[in-house]
Structure 1
Amino acid sequence: MTKKVLIVLTNETRYQGTDDPTGLWLGEATEFAESMEQAGIKVDYVSPKGGFVPLDPRSMKYTNKSIMEFYETKDFQQRALTQSLRPDQINPADYSAIYYTGGHGVMWDFPDDPKLQKIALSIYNNDGYITSVCHGVAGLLNIKDNNGKYLIAGKTITGFTTAEEIIAGKKSVVPFLNKQEVEKRGGNFKKKRAYKEYAVQDGHFITGQNPFSPKAVARLLLKNIK
């Protein structure tokens, strides 16, 4: 039986310290989930607190027909946006991969969540894949192996770039810059042009650069688990 893929979503509703709303970048969840389902792979949705997942209002300006149709399904609205699972409801043995979505909110609730880190490490140690897109790379930063070493040390990964933060007008409000944090932990941060599709695989890590990359991450993952 093919194992499922676990999709991680944020519970953060605003850029901390401001009144500006944020949340899940919609397409980063729907495009990946739809790619999995089209390949016959089931997905589950988890968030640090479980339950309600807010949408980044800016992400609604960057939708298309397929994003909107997936968003409008009862399954996605219930299982992802209103009844996402809590980490303590997850059995890592059920999954062949974990996928961290983005939206700026994840920069606050993904990096220091020990329960999610434990799930990711367990999937990884069970020969599974750790994947992310855009700001979702924040979820990878502090996962450590059983010897206390950063899992991304020595790995080539990508995520939302400093240039992309500047273009988005958010460099002054984010709590950190992805490239700096990856490099601090010994990772090798690779990038392509701003806002172009790009995903990279290094062993059991598959990461995408920006909101245009969920399908590229999905394609690489499917090559490995199908």
Structure 2
Amino acid sequence: MTKKVLVVVTSTNRFSDLDRATGLWLSESVHFHAVMADHGIDVDYVSSQGGYVPLDPGSLDGMDDTTWAYYNDSAFRNHYLAQSLKPQDVNPQDYAAIYFAGGHGAMWDFPNNPDLMSIADAIHANGGVTAAVCHGVVGLLGLHETDGQELIASKQVAGFSNEEEQQNQLTDAVPFLTQDALIKAGGKYSQSAAYTPHVVTDGRLVTGQNPQSARGVGEAVLQLLA
């Protein structure tokens, strides 16, 4: 069977207590997507609600060539961003890996989401790769190993740092801090300097710290799939 990878994106379009838009951080999905596409691996996008995927406005500032190429592609926008799958439309057996992309919106609809958890746990139980980047790593909270323990417990992990959130001036706007949540769940957290690439692989788990790490996460997933 041709390998496919499932990209999980947020359906949340605003901060809960702020009149501030959020959503998917576009480069975090498309940099990963581009690595898969370059190696002939198909991807599907799923969101907690399905359908339209909101974009964090901040992710459209200073876009690089890869992000512009996807953003300019009407087929990409109309299929992946306008018609993301609903969780109930996903058959975990179809996927060799799952990847949680970030953006602040993920802080509200990723953690302990039963629909997303059941998909991710099934892919992992089938021997698949689990990956996440930046705020998307909160989608790992509540996932389990086949023996029932938390997936990230005692594993090396990365994710958006407290320092980076402080630089965003959004420490008090998010429901919790990503770094703190990973540590609380038993993850062995590491980080690099703010907004520099940092990717960690531990078995079949791959995590990245920030938007600058998305391509590296894709490359690490590719190595595991090979």
Shorter chain as normaliser: what TM range? over 0.9
Runs (4+) of structure 1 moved beyond 2 Å? 144-149
Aligned partners of 2:204 and 2:224 also within 8 Å: no
Preserved CA contact (<8 Å) 1:132 1:206 = yes
Tell me by how many angstroms 1:147 deviates: 5.2
- Partner residue, 1:203: 203
Deviation at 1:42, TM superposition (A): 0.2
Residue 99 of structure 1 corresponds to 99
User: How much has 1:26 moved relative to structure 2?
Assistant: 0.6
State the TM-score, normalized to the length of structure 2.
0.97
Structure-1 residue corresponding to 2:70: 70
Any idea what SS the aligned residue of 1:212 has? helix
Match of 1:55 in 2: 55
The answer to whether 1:14 aligns with 2:18 is no
Greater shift after overlay, 200-209 or 60-69?
A: 60-69
Amino acid aligned to 1:132: A
Secondary structure of 1:5's aligned partner: strand
Question: 2:170, 2:203 → 1: CA distance?
Answer: 32
SS at match of 1:51: coil
Q: Deviations over 1:18-54 (max 9, x none)?
A: 1111000010011110110011000000000100110
In the other structure, the counterpart of 1:118 is: 118
What does residue 219 of structure 1 align with? Answer: 219
Question: Is contact 1:53-1:82 (8 Å) kept?
Answer: yes
Conserved? CA contact 1:9–1:46, under 8 Å: yes
What residue identity is the alignment partner of 1:61? D
Instruction: Return the alpha-carbon distance in structure 1 between the equivalents of residues 76 and 139 of structure 2.
Output: 22
Amino acid at match of 1:35: V
Unaligned runs of 5+ in 1: none
CA contact (8 A) 2:124 2:145 kept: no
Q: CA deviation at 1:75?
A: 2.9
Matches within 5 A, 1:184-199: 184-199=184-199
Does the 8 Å CA contact 2:70/2:76 hold for their aligned counterparts?
yes
Matching residue's letter, 1:81 = L
Local SS of the residue matching 2:96: strand
Return 5+ residue gaps in structure 2 as ranges: none
Distance (Å, rounded) in 2 between the aligned partners of 1:180 and 1:25: 21
Q: For 2:79 and 2:13, how far apart are their aligned partners in 1?
A: 18
Residues in 2 aligned to 1:142 and 1:93: alpha-carbon distance in whole angstroms: 20
CA distance in 2, matches of 1:85, 1:112: 19
Find the counterpart in structure 1 of residue 25 from structure 2.
Answer: 25
Q: Which residue of 1 aligns with 2:108?
A: 108
**Paired amino acid for 1:223:** Q
Aligned partner of 2:196: which letter? K
Question: What letter matches 2:103 in structure 1?
Answer: G
Secondary structure, in 3 states, of the residue corresponding to 1:115?
helix
Mapped partners of 1:32, 1:177: distance in 2: 24
DSSP 3-state at the match of 1:8: strand
The CA deviation at 1:209 is 0.4
Deviates more, 1:197-206 or 1:175-184: 175-184
Would you say the 8 A contact 1:45–1:79 is kept in 2?
no
- Answer whether contact 1:161 1:178 (CA < 8 A) is retained: yes
Partner residue, 2:152 = 152
Identity %: 44
Give the aligned residue type for 1:191: Q
Q: Which amino acid aligns with 2:181?
A: E
Shift of 1:183: 1.4
